Structure 1
Amino acid sequence: MNRLRIFNKAADPAPPQNKHWYSLKASGEAEARSIEVYVYGEIGTWGITANQFVRDLAALDDGVSPIVVAFNSIGGDLFDGLAIHNALSRLGERCTGRVDALAASAASVAVCGAHKVVIASNAMLMIHNPWTYAAGDAENLRKVATALDQAMEAIIAAYKAKAPNIDEVELRRLVNAETWLTASEAVALGLADEVGEGVKVKACLGQGGALQRYQHAPQALLAQLDEPPEQPPVPEPEPKPEPEKPPIVDSAALALLITQSCNTAGISSLIEPIINSTKLADEATVNAAISNAKAVRDLCVAARLPEFTQQFVASGLTAEAVRGRLFDKLVSGGGFEIDNSLPINDDPAPKTQAKQPDTNAIYAARRAAQTGVKA
């Protein structure tokens, strides 16, 4: 394994609803400037990476303005969460972490890096053990278990940095039990400093499907997410304008555009799926499909499953839908599977060995050419 990815996940994965957004903004004049960062979504490859977070924040940070980092996240990659934790810690007293609805697993680690943590009165903080998926022999899996134990110590250290007076035995018990803390409980433990104004959880959570991955997600919270969304009032229908004549489409030009763009991007294998899925409707549709195909390819390569790229593009899946499919493929099974049989379908085809030269036949052919006698 080149890299051990440690997640915070339990039970069988449910299809995520893929509603996430991430934004930074600076407001006010130079003398009264403030910076707000919204980490709404999964942390890591599937959403907001630490690299993206640190780069974007550095581009806005002037070194003196107060910074508020608002979290609403089910968690994700632990190492990215730890990196964000340390980035917030380096900001010192001018950094405030705000839990708007949920800071679960890796997100709870990240927010605890802030000097001050304010949690909404109806928000929650969830802490639990690290989790990963692995394959290999017994020695490989022992190394994975050791890495998980070390990751657990990193989690404990992150929480204790925020709450140095917390009882470590009790903290480890809570982490091991996958504990969902209310705002008041988080403050009592020292993982938050202040209870803020409540917000409507259903309105901003937007991650109900993914939330069901956890073993002990509060039923009251899941019940809110199961409620049908509020329907906006239906406006009065406006008079229909005269239908416009459809534009004339040059199919050959669009096919050439797809071919050239795919060759340039190194995705020539996706030319036919893009042509079939767009039906060469118009230039806007074709350009959107090419951009989506590039994003799908990048996601499959990042997940080390490039062989699924063509299938996903041919099916017309968006990059958001592909995130969920890849996550399910990576973590499906929920445990270790030991199999000593040779892989059949998943390994790359064996390399074709070049035929070794037959020296005797070569010499015989040379003699025959010189003497005119066939051997």
Structure 2
Amino acid sequence: MTQKTHPRIYDSAGKQLPVSAKSWYFLQASGEAERRTIEVYVYGEIGGWGITANQFVQDLRGMDDGVSPIVVAFNSGGGDLFDGLAMHNALSRLGERCTGRVDALAASAASVAVCGAHRVVIAANAMLMIHNPWTYTSGDADDFRRVADVLDQTLEAIIAAYKAKAPNVDDAELRRLVNAETWLTATEAVELGLADEIGGGIEVKACVGQGAVLHRYRHAPQALMDLIDGAEEPVAETEPQPQPPAQVSTAKLALMITQGCAEAGISNLIEPLINSTQLADEPVVQAALTRAKAVRDLCVAARLPELTEGFVRDGLDTVAVRARLFDTLTGSGGFEIDNSLPLADDSPIHAQARQPNPQGIWASRRNAQSTNKPAQGARQ
């Protein structure tokens, strides 16, 4: 097996690589050079902090020989609409060689992307979700009107992507389903024309792992939420019952936080972690340390490391932090279309006043000084 330099891409010959919960995106080529199949696994968020369209297309180009069949497997709660559209068009250009496979869930932008494949196979227990585009924005009334117009235009792009896959679908019915945020079963997806056939089922709970993402949507099926929220399996009566963990002193818990932060290079978060956890018990402290590291990584990636301490002090999880960072970045000017919905606990977006322009102020002061230049000999 020859491993490429990219940490998430594997090029193998004749060996099936399992998809684990931590390996959310990789490519592999199996079989002889003359008869091989290229498989792409898109397991996770599209765009943003997940897999971008640029990464997807460049990686695929690096493996595509122009003749081999390509299977693109999706298990995604969605993400950035424009990245999803770019993936859709990339799959469409592959023609009859491309098969899209919905292993568990293709929601939102992922449903747009998978419909670019020539043939779509959806697992018997998988789902496809379609809905209207959604975005964050800020500004004055004109800014909001402009964004509303852009959302209307992007809705037309979504409709066009679905109709390219299902040209015979009734336009009015398709728009009604999109507007209602519709979760389609495998049978319903085939009947609508967004999938071509139903494949073998897989255990959804074992592969989705995206419960926090699905909490953003309004009508996510409760049965699916129960599976992906990781409800524990019942313990058989014959099995010994686990004993409650021994209590750990608050001093040891504080030491655990101090050492953990030092090892991770986040010593500035010791006090916020102690305050947010209240040194309740060892599992709470361990979870808070893991969460703090992830929050730090997100803030660094967004080039806003100074926000880390506040997020940790408030006890925010990574999903809420992503929403806050997105709000901060888009509030600084411009906006992006993201067709994932906000978390239920997200604070409302408030309109912000226009920020002062330091360069304009300085230029005005210099012009005033040149105009009111004092007479010779006068002191300033």
Please tell me the TM-score bracket, short chain as reference.
Answer: 0.5 to 0.7
Aligned equivalent of 1:204, options 202, 207, 224: 207
Residue by residue over 1:176-197, the C-alpha shift from the partner in whole angstroms, topping out at 9 and shown as x without a partner, is 1111100011011110001000
Q: Map Cα deviations across residues 216-258 of structure 1 (whole Å, 9 max, x no partner).
A: 1111111223453459999xxxxxxxxxxxxxxxxxxxx9xx9
Q: Distance in 2 between matches of 1:348 and 1:199?
A: 56
The answer to whether the 8 A contact 1:299-1:323 is kept is no
For residue 301 of structure 2, what is the aligned residue in structure 1? Answer: 299
* Residue 327 (structure 1) aligned with residue 341 (structure 2): no
SS at match of 2:194: coil
SS at match of 1:215: coil
1:159 maps to 2:162? yes
CA shift, 1:363, in A, is 3.4
Where relative contact order (Cα < 8 A, 6+ residues apart) is larger, the structure is: 1
RMSD of aligned residue pairs (Cα, Å): 4.1
Aligned residue for 2:126? 123
Paired residue type of 2:106: A
Residue 326 of structure 1 aligns to which amino acid in structure 2? R
Once the two structures are TM-superposed, the CA of residue 31 in structure 1 deviates from its matched residue by: 1.1
Structure 1 pair 293–328 and aligned structure 2 pair: CA distance change class (3 A): closer
Contact 1:54 1:84 (8 Å CA) reproduced: yes
Q: Which amino acid aligns with 1:363?
A: G
Contact 1:127 1:174 in 2 (8 A): yes
Q: Which residue of 1 aligns with 2:285?
A: none
Report what 2:140 is aligned to. Answer: 137
1:190 aligned onto 2:193: yes
Q: Choose 1 or 2 for highest CA Rg.
A: 1
Q: Distance in 1 between matches of 2:211 and 2:136?
A: 23
Q: Partners of 1:227 and 1:273 in 2: how far apart?
A: 32
Q: Distance in 2 between matches of 1:123 and 1:175?
A: 18
1:211 partner amino acid: L
CA contact (8 A) 1:97 1:118 kept: yes
Return the TM-score normalized by structure 1: 0.67
User: TM-score by structure 2 length?
Assistant: 0.66
Matches of 2:22 and 2:319 in 1, distance apart? 12
CA contact (8 A) 2:295 2:318 kept: no
**CA 335–187 in structure 1, closer or farther in 2 if over 3 Å, else same:** farther
Aligned pair count reads 296
Q: CA deviation at 1:29?
A: 1.0
- Summarize the Cα distance change of 1:28–1:294 in structure 2 as closer, same or farther, 3 Å threshold: farther
Q: What is the CA–CA distance in structure 2 between the aligned matches of 1:174 and 1:19, rounded to whole Å?
A: 33
Q: For residue 73 of structure 1, what is the aligned residue in structure 2?
A: 76
Q: Deviation per CA, 1:305-338, whole angstroms, max 9, x where unpaired?
A: 56425767x98x9xxx656512245356879756
- SS of the counterpart of 1:198? coil
Q: 5+ residue gaps in structure 2?
A: 1-20, 241-261, 273-292, 328-341
Q: CA deviation at 1:33?
A: 1.1
Contact 1:208 1:222 in 2 (8 A): yes
Shift in Å at residue 35 of structure 1? 0.6
**Comparing 331-340 and 140-149, the one that deviates more:** 331-340
Q: Retained in 2: the 8 A contact 1:300–1:309?
A: no
CA distance in 1 between counterparts of 2:185 and 2:295 reads 42
Q: Which residue of 2 aligns with 1:42?
A: 45
CA gap of 1:223–1:45, structure 2 versus 1, over 3 A, is same
The answer to whether the 8 Å contact 1:135/1:336 transfers is: no
Give 1:44's aligned amino acid: G
Aligned to 2:307: 308
Query: Percent identity between the aligned chains?
Result: 62
Counterpart Cα distance in 1 of 2:215 and 2:374: 69
1:51-90 to 2 correspondences below 5 Å: 51-90=54-93
